[in-house]
C-alpha cells in the first residue's frame, strides 16, 4: 500500500463520535442540515478546502472537490434510518473492539475512514466526495447529482458497509417498491355482504398473483411485505393496499417485473386496482466492479468480493457504465438494527484501502 495512515484510530473514532451524535433521520430537514454541517466540518478539518452544501428538497447534500481534472468520486450518504431520540437510548460507545451507535456501520464509519485515508495522500487532485441526504429513502433528490459527478469523474468508490466477513460488494440487485391499491365497495357484512365488493378478497388474489412473479432461479424475488384493509369488523372492506419489495439481477427481469405489475387485473367484478412504483435502482452487474476490484485485490490479496441483494447509490453509477466498487466502508454489521456495530481493528486497513485505490486510479 501507499503508506501507513498518519491519523490515529483515536482520531477516527473522535470524528465518528462527532457524526453519530448529530442524529440524521431521513426526511428530517432540520436534523439533516445539522448533520450536513457536521460532515462538511470534518471534511474541511481533515482535508482542507471547502465542502459545499447542495440544497435539495430532501435536505443538504455535501460536495467537496480537491480540484484538478475529476478522476474518482467517493460516494456516501449522511442520512440514517433511526428516528430522533435513538441516540439517547443507544449512545455512541466504544467497547470490546467495537463502536456502536446509530449509523456507525451504515454508513458514517465509512465516511470517516475515507476522509482519513484521503488525508494521507500528499496529492488529492482529481478526487471528489459526495455525501447525500436521501439514500435511505430512494435518492430521488440526489440521483441526478450523483450521476452527473460519476460521469464527470469516471470511477466511483462507494462507502457503504462491507459485506459479511469484510468483503467488498462487487454486484447488487436492482430493487424497487410497488404499491397495489384496491378499491371495492362497502356494505354491511351481516345484512347484505353480497352487495359489497370485498377489497380484502381482491387483495388476497393480487398477493398470490404477485408472489408468483418471483423467479429465484434468475435471482428475482417478489415479496409482499405490508398489507392493510378494512375499517370495522362488520363492514365489507372497500379499500385495501399491498406493498411489495422487488429485487432483480438483470435489466431484462426489471422490464418483465414492471410490465407484469402494469398488467395486473382485478379478479372480482367491479373491483378496481391501481399500481404505483418501479424498480427504481437498476441492477449493478459484477462487470461494473471487475476492474476496480482487481486493483483492490492487488492492495489486499485476501479480499473477497460478493454480490448482494441490497441496493445503494452505486446501482445508479454502475448503470451508467461507470466503473463502481461498493462496500468499501466499515467492517461490521447490523445495518438498520439496534445491534449495529463497527469493528475498530479494521478501520486503519479500510482507510488505507480507499487511499490506495485512489492513488492507483489517479496514477493509472
Give per-residue pLDDT as tens, 78-93: 999 999 999 999 999 9
What is the spatial distance between Cα 51 and Cα 231, in angstroms, rounded to a whole number? 51
Give per-residue pLDDT as tens, 333-359: 999 999 999 999 999 999 999 999 999
pLDDT value, residue 7:
59
pLDDT value, residue 2:
45
26 by DSSP, 3-state: which?
coil
- Cα–Cα distances in Å, from 272 out to 136, 198, 227, 241, 264? 32, 11, 16, 12, 10
Mean pLDDT, residues 54-59: 98
What is the spatial distance between Cα 112 and Cα 90, in angstroms, rounded to a whole number? 20
Q: Is 79 a catalytic residue?
A: yes
Say whether the peptide bond before residue 107 is cis (omega within 30 degrees of 0): yes
150 by DSSP, 3-state: which?
helix
Q: Is 160 a catalytic residue?
A: no
Give per-residue pLDDT as tens, 15-42: 999 999 999 999 999 999 999 999 999 9
What is the spatial distance between Cα 198 and Cα 298, in angstroms, rounded to a whole number? 61
Q: Please, what is the average pLDDT of the chain?
A: 96
The overall longest dimension of the chain from CA atoms, in Å, is 81
Residue with cell 459545499: 52
The DSSP H or E segment spanning 178 is strand 174-183
Write down the catalytic residue from 15, 23, 106, 135.
Answer: 135
- Indicate whether 364 pLDDT > 80: no
Domains of the chain: 9-172+284-362 (3.40.630.10), 174-281 (3.30.70.360)
- Indicate whether 5 pLDDT > 80: no
Mean pLDDT, residues 273-299: 96
Write down the catalytic residue from 79, 160, 249, 313.
Answer: 79
- Indicate whether 156 pLDDT > 50: yes
Residues in contact with 232: Cβ distance below 8 Å, sequence separation at least 6, in sequence order: none
Q: How confident is the model at residue 217 (pLDDT cuts 50, 70, 90)?
A: very high
- Indicate whether 138 pLDDT > 80: yes
- Mode of pairing for the β-strands spanning 72-77 and 156-158: parallel
Mean pLDDT, residues 162-191: 97
Q: How confident is the model at residue 6 (pLDDT cuts 50, 70, 90)?
A: low
Amino acid at each position: 500500500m501507499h503508506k501507513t495512515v498518519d491519523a490515529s484510530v483515536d482520531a477516527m473514532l473522535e470524528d465518528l463520535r462527532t457524526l453519530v451524535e448529530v442524529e440524521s433521520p431521513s426526511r428530517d430537514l432540520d436534523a439533516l442540515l445539522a448533520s450536513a454541517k457536521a460532515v462538511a466540518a470534518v471534511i474541511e478539518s481533515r482535508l482542507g478546502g471547502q465542502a459545499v452544501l447542495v440544497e435539495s428538497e430532501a435536505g443538504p447534500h455535501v460536495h467537496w472537490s480537491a480540484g484538478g481534472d475529476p478522476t474518482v468520486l467517493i460516494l456516501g450518504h449522511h442520512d440514517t434510518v433511526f428516528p430522533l431520540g435513538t441516540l439517547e437510548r443507544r449512545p455512541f460507545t466504544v467497547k470490546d473492539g467495537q463502536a456502536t451507535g446509530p449509523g456507525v456501520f451504515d454508513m458514517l464509519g465509512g465516511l470517516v475512514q475515507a476522509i482519513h485515508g484521503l488525508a494521507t495522500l500528499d496529492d488529492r487532485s482529481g478526487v471528489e466526495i459526495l455525501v447525500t441526504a436521501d439514500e435511505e429513502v430512494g435518492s430521488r433528490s440526489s440521483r441526478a447529482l450523483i450521476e452527473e459527478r460519476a460521469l464527470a469523474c469516471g470511477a466511483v468508490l462507494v462507502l457503504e458497509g462491507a459485506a459479511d466477513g469484510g468483503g467488498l460488494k462487487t454486484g447488487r440487485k436492482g430493487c424497487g417498491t410497488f404499491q397495489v391499491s384496491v378499491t371495492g365497495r362497502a356494505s354491511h357484512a351481516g345484512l347484505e355482504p353480497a352487495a359489497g365488493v370485498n377489497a380484502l378478497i381482491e387483495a388476497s388474489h393480487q398477493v398470490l398473483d404477485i408472489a408468483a412473479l418471483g423467479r429465484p432461479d434468475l435471482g428475482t424475488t417478489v415479496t409482499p411485505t405490508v398489507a392493510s384493509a378494512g375499517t370495522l369488523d362488520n363492514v365489507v372492506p372497500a379499500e385495501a393496499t399491498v406493498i411489495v419489495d422487488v429485487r432483480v439481477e438483470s435489466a431484462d427481469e426489471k422490464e418483465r417485473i414492471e410490465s407484469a405489475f402494469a398488467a395486473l387485473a382485478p379478479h372480482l367484478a367491479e373491483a378496481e386496482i391501481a399500481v404505483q412504483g418501479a424498480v427504481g435502482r437498476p441492477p449493478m452487474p459484477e462487470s461494473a466492479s471487475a476492474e476496480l476490484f482487481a486493483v483492490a485485490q492487488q492492495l489486499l490479496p485476501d479480499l473477497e468480493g460478493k454480490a448482494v441483494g441490497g441496493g445503494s447509490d452505486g446501482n445508479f453509477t454502475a448503470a451508467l457504465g461507470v466503473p463502481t466498487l461498493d462496500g468499501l466502508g466499515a467492517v461490521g454489521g447490523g445495518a438498520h438494527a439496534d445491534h449495529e456495530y463497527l469493528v475498530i481493528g479494521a478501520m486503519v486497513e479500510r482507510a488505507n484501502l480507499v487511499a490506495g485505490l485512489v492513488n492507483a486510479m489517479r496514477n493509472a
